Amino acid sequence: MKFEELSLQELVEGITSQKFLSESVVKYFIEQCEKHSDLNAIIEVFDDAIAKAKALDEKIARCEKVGKLAGVPVAIKDIIACKGKKMTCASKFMKDYESPYSATIIKKLEAEDAIIFARTNMDEFAMGSSCENSCYGACKNSHDQTRVSGGSSGGSAVAVASGLCPVAIGTDTGGSVRQPSSFNGVVGIKPTYGSVSRFGIVAFASSTDQAGPITKTIEDNEFILSILAGKDANDGTSIENDFISSPTKEKYTIGICKQLTEKIKQLDTYPQFESAIHAFEKMGYDIVEVDVPHIADCLACYYILTPAEATSNLARFDGVKYTIRSEEAKSLEEVYVKSRSEGFGEEVKRRIMLGNFVLSSGYFDAYYKKAKKLQTLLKQEFAEAFKHCDTIITPTTPGEAFEIGGKIKDPVAMYLEDLFTVPASIAGIPALSIPYAKGKTGLPLGLQLMGAQKSEKTLYDIAKKFKQGGAQ
């Protein structure tokens, strides 16, 4: 049986009704991971996964109550702590790190009897848009191995798209779930900020980091998010988001952001985006133009705020607390400088230094403080825009997945990849990417649906109806 063709509900039903064993499902996906190791999506398959699946099968055979994800194998990004397992953030700095505790989301998945079975490739410390900044080497696109997977959660998106797992968890700070989902033709969401606990997830930029599921279908995605979401005493910024019980509507109003129109029209993929708008029109939805006056400034805002936070968050990697210490270090100062210089990759160094620049005396007001003010304004502008529409749609990315090596030497070109994804991160609103068309070279394109705070249900509902309404 091709287990990757089943929905999560079908997998759980099959396992709990003993039509097939969790052990068989887990073994099947491990085989797929081995067969497609050339994609470089999976860093490690956990050696206790089959034993855990067997234990669950026995529990089912004894007619004991099991959870909503009974026996389903889940792959996690290499930045999420799982007790007793290695977690490296795809960095040389963390190469031998073993998590002494589990992230809240891991506990939630395990409480529903999911089998955490593998960790996935990513850009080092989640900094990147191509999954090329990894100490394990680049992860390749599931549709064309000469192209990037997208990033930073590239391994998670490729693993789902290539049938190496039925669901993977990624994290999204400025598009790191949505962009690779778009590049690989799968579904990914960045939830409302705070909806999913950050406890046990290595921090990149604490004010925008959010974990989100990557799945093949919209239904599966909604199902997993409903398990991950919820307030957590261990994360002071977490919130209650019972999106699943929000009401839905027959017809929705689709917003197009006026200030992005020109940029979108210049894209090669504009015809595809235009046909998506027509599809919504055919469904009888109203299409309205809305204003988010400062949306185009989001990218600059993002590349000031997130390096500033990364600088503080990555100060803990000092050669004293985590795994690696430079062999050459003689003094404490050398322990810090040599360990960090040897351990961090180029992009991480760049962002730490950029963060220190915008926080340094003489530049703090002009850059960091200005960006914080802009963030406030953007939240207000989005809140105002959502009084006139249920969602604002954009392409998830400016184009199809680009070639491996194509942008890695030009950081600004790489940062421009995040043009459409960072606004939702800055504003803390949910944004869903769904596959909707193919580009010129036949690679998948994603449509992004942004919504007001806690409007995940609306986004999922619009996306489902859009798919039923005849989109590709």
Partner 1 sequence: MKVDIEYLEKLSKLKIDDEKKEKFEQDFEKILAFVDDITKLELPEEDKSRAVALSQLREDEFTQKDKVDVLSCAPKKKDGCYLTPLVVE
Q: Quick check: helix, strand or coil at residue 305?
A: helix
Among candidate residues 129, 176, 195, 197, the one labeled active-site is 176
Residue with tokens 């604002």: 392
| Interface residue list for partner 1 (CB under 8 A) | 96-98, 100-101, 207, 233, 236-237, 294, 297, 299-301, 303-304, 311, 318-325, 329-338, 340-341, 344, 346, 349-350, 352-354, 356-357, 360, 366-367, 369-377, 379, 410-412, 415
Angle between helix 270-282 and helix 456-468 axes, rounded to 10 deg: 90
Give CA–CA dist 202/105, Å, rounded. Answer: 13
Give CA–CA dist 323/210, Å, rounded. Answer: 26
Question: Please, which residue, 293 or 399, has the CB nearer to partner 1?
Answer: 293
How many Cβ atoms are within 10 Å of 242's Cβ, its own excluded?
12
What does DSSP say about strands 210-215 and 187-190: parallel, antiparallel, or unpaired?
antiparallel
Among candidate residues 129, 152, 156, 238, the one labeled active-site is 152
Question: Please, which residue, 147 or 325, has the CB nearer to partner 1?
Answer: 325
How many Cβ atoms are within 10 Å of 447's Cβ, its own excluded?
22
251 in catalytic set: no
Least gap, CB of 352 to partner 1 (angstroms):
5
Among candidate residues 22, 52, 68, 77, the one labeled active-site is 77
DSSP-assigned letter for residue 21? -
Per the CB < 8 A criterion, the answer to whether 7 and 217 are in contact is: yes
176 in catalytic set: yes
Per the CB < 8 A criterion, the answer to whether 358 and 367 are in contact is: yes
Give CA–CA dist 272/94, Å, rounded. Answer: 42
Give CA–CA dist 155/326, Å, rounded. Answer: 29
H helix or E strand, kind and range, residue 295? none
Least gap, CB of 43 to partner 1 (angstroms):
18
Least gap, CB of 109 to partner 1 (angstroms):
17
Question: Please, which residue, 237 or 259, has the CB nearer to partner 1?
Answer: 237
Least gap, CB of 434 to partner 1 (angstroms):
29
Least gap, CB of 266 to partner 1 (angstroms):
18
152 in catalytic set: yes
Question: Please, which residue, 62 or 321, has the CB nearer to partner 1?
Answer: 321
Least gap, CB of 166 to partner 1 (angstroms):
29
Task: Count Cβ atoms within 10 A of the Cβ of residue 459 and give its class: 0-12 exposed, 13-18 middle, 19 or more buried.
Answer: buried
Question: Please, which residue, 48 or 346, has the CB nearer to partner 1?
Answer: 346
Give CA–CA dist 56/466, Å, rounded. Answer: 37
Question: Please, which residue, 14 or 319, has the CB nearer to partner 1?
Answer: 319
Question: Please, which residue, 88 or 153, has the CB nearer to partner 1?
Answer: 88
Give CA–CA dist 219/472, Å, rounded. Answer: 17
Task: Count Cβ atoms within 10 A of the Cβ of residue 186 and give its class: 0-12 exposed, 13-18 middle, 19 or more buried.
Answer: buried
Least gap, CB of 450 to partner 1 (angstroms):
19
Catalytically active residues, by annotation: 77, 152, 176
